[in-house]
A and B are shown apart, each in its own frame.
Chain A
Amino acid sequence: MNQSSKTVIEISRVSKRFGNVVAVDDNSLVIHEGEFFALLGPSGCGKTTLLRMLAGLEVPTEGSILIDGEDMQGVPPNHRPINMVFQSYAVFPHMTVFENVGYGLKVTGVPVPALRDAVMTALDQVQLGDYQDRMPDQLSGGQKQRVALARALVKKPKVLLLDEPLSALDAKLREAMQLELVKLQNTVGITFVIVTHDQDEALSMADRIAVINEGRIEQIAEPRAIYEFPANRFVADFIGKMNVFDAKATSEGDRIAIEASDVGSFTVSHREDMRPDQINAVAIRPEKTRLTSQPPDNSLFSAEARIVNIAYHGKETAIFVEIGQHTELACAVQNTSRSQQLPEIGDICWVSWKADDVLLLE
């Protein structure tokens, strides 16, 4: 990564209201130079509005946005050191690939020889060097996206904004494009800010992620921290799969004792940012549980369970078990071998996990 600690975007206390609807609610955020930053959230959470405010296509109702140290208030989109790849790509249908990529230079009066060089370099960067004379309707979705990328990169922006860039591509192409975008970002060294609702995309590509819900940033952290140490119930629930149980917690020396109805009791190490009386629930990810036919050793917490449902996914199998009368739990079993035996519905087994893999929630 080309990250430095230099700030390139500073969003402070920005809100955006459309009539009575609050799309973005009092958010602050700092993005560093060279960073690959993801705004992640469910649809309608305000992430695109936030991106559009960076581009100057929406005006914040409150708060300020600094790009490269300059206040962007009143600066129109065409005067911002930022370019955007639109979700629909917005490749101009009446221009060739070359004219599309050259458009941003032509309108700012770049002389033709320099424009030609820059356009060809950008097209080579996205592997479309041979497509310069094609019309957009002769291109596939993936190729149009590369045109949109080249068209933005040729402007050498401080920050490149990408609005759901991969959502329209099929699964295989999407995976390839994820890797390519990261590679491209490393090559050009431009700060990328990507909006996505796809957590896989955010986790695999971004250096840091802001998880947004209902207009508010819930957590800003590196992908691993977002997944392993979600800050609250929304993030825990939104990212990956999570089993959540109601629980009571009490202090027990330097550890916290958890009492979860049906499941049982165990102790976990102390979390400094939370008092025991704030804890109302605990959570464990399916892949952090283990299923055995015999009770495991005492280093793990374990409970007896009955298998109620099995869903086969190829690389893994989701096994749903019932502990006690009311508590259902999803466990993920990796299908590491072809000859692996799977349990059957109705079997009694033991579900276990490391106490410290449990997440404490308010």
Chain B
Amino acid sequence: MLGVPPGIWLTVFFIIPLSLIWLFSFGDKQGLVDIELTWTMANYARAMDPLYLQIFLKSFWFAGITTLVCLLVAFPIAIAITFSPARIRPILLLLVILPFWTNLLIRTYALIAVLRTKGYVNFGLEYLWDGLNATLMFFGMDPSGLIGERFTPAPLLYNNFAVVFGLVYVHLPFMVLPLYASLDRMDRSYLEASLDLGATQFRTFLSITVPLAMPGIISGVIITFIPALGSFLTPDLLGGTDSQMIANVIERQFKSANDWPFGSALSFILMYITFFVLAARALFSRQGSAMEAS
């Protein structure tokens, strides 16, 4: 098995299945299981329906917010790891990748336990509410006017917030690692020179750290955005009725709706978008290196 050339691996497990899906997307559903290849564009035309465009847009919105939040959260983490003592750096990196050792499904169910109405967050909030309530009573104030008659759990699950929260949780390591890699490679004397020349720490961060970490930022954004865009499990388990993403629609076409041609068309539209993002990145980095070379 190991002696098989990689070309054959790619053909059997990647190119052939993908080609089949590509062909399905130009097919016509005949009866329950048969698909006739008619080279129709009807599936793609149907994907342009405002209903589906809106879901595409929503997916972009979720993936974009997720990427932005990941970037804002991951940058301080990456900096902290870079500047921590060499002894504990491997441990911190291990903590970042530790979630990968558990199945995504299990981690998502764990998030449900955290976020649900009687989950850990609401339990904590209720505890604080009780404490505040008792304190106000103690000082002879009527708490009902200030903090309400009784504790109302925060709606944290089965909505857009839960989806974005889940996506950030899942994708954070993908942002931390490339940022850490680029910060770790960076020559510290650039930062020291900036401080030495009179810049504050904050100014140094904006004028030196961020521009020099740009390759890591771009990599992080891309490898966060692309999988977030195609997320299926997180919106499926954590989302409400209005927080579906495109992958959920695709899944439904292949299963409950039993419309493989339309599902295939949606899949390929998502893939074309991904290709477009990667191509734009390649063009960007080529321009960057051309500028450096000239």
Q: Which residues of A contact B (CB under 8 A)?
A: 55-57, 76-79, 82-84, 86-88, 90, 92-94, 103-104, 107-108, 135, 137, 148, 151-152, 155
Contact = CB atoms under 8 A, between A and B. Distances in A.
Contact of B197 (A56, A83, A135): A83
A137 B290 CA distance: 12
Contact of B187 (A57, A90, A151): A90
A77 to B, nearest CB: 4
Contact of A155 (B195, B197, B211): B197
Given A94-B211, A135-B292, A107 B199 contact: yes
A57 B198 contact: no
24 contacts: A77-B192, A77-B195, A77-B196, A78-B195, A83-B197, A84-B192, A84-B193, A86-B189, A86-B193, A87-B189, A90-B187, A90-B193, A92-B193, A92-B194, A103-B194, A103-B197, A104-B197, A104-B199, A107-B198, A107-B199, A107-B203, A107-B207, A151-B193, A152-B196
B208 interface: yes
B contact patch SS: helix
B5 to A, nearest CB: 40
Contacts of B212: 93-94
A148 B198 CA distance: 15
Interface string B203-238: 100011001100000000000000000000000000
Nearest to B187: A88
B192 A57 contact: yes
Which one of B194, B195, B197, B199 has the highest number of Cβ atoms from chain A below 10 Å of its Cβ? B197
B200 interface: yes
Contact of A78 (B187, B189, B196, B211): B196
Nearest to A137: B292
Given A78-B198, A104-B197, A90 B192 contact: yes
A152 B189 CA distance: 14
Given A57-B192, A93-B212, A107 B197 contact: yes
B192 A151 contact: no
**5 A-B pairs with least C-beta separation:** A104-B197, A90-B193, A90-B189, A107-B199, A77-B195
Contacts of B208: 92
Contacts of B195: 56-57, 76-78
B196 A55 contact: yes
A155 B199 CA distance: 12
A151 B197 CA distance: 8
B199 A83 contact: no
B190 interface: yes
A117 B208 CA distance: 24
B49 to A, nearest CB: 45
Contact of A86 (B192, B198, B199, B211): B192
A56 B187 CA distance: 18
A18 B144 CA distance: 58
B87 to A, nearest CB: 11
B197 to A, nearest CB: 3
Given A92-B208, A137-B292, A78 B190 contact: no
B198 A104 contact: yes
Interface string B259-294: 000000000000000000000000000000000100
Interface in B24-81: none
Given A57-B196, A83-B197, A90 B190 contact: yes
Nearest to B208: A92
A88 B189 contact: yes
Contacts of B203: 107
Contacts of A55: 192, 196
Contacts of A92: 190, 193-194, 208
Contacts of A87: 189
B189 to A, nearest CB: 4
Nearest to A57: B192
B192 A78 contact: no
A234 B187 CA distance: 34
Which one of B196, B198, B200, B207 has the highest number of Cβ atoms from chain A below 10 Å of its Cβ? B196
Contacts of A88: 187, 189
Given A88-B187, A107-B207, A137-B292, A78 B200 contact: yes
Nearest to A91: B193
Contact of B199 (A56, A78, A152): A78
Contacts of B198: 78-79, 104, 107-108, 155
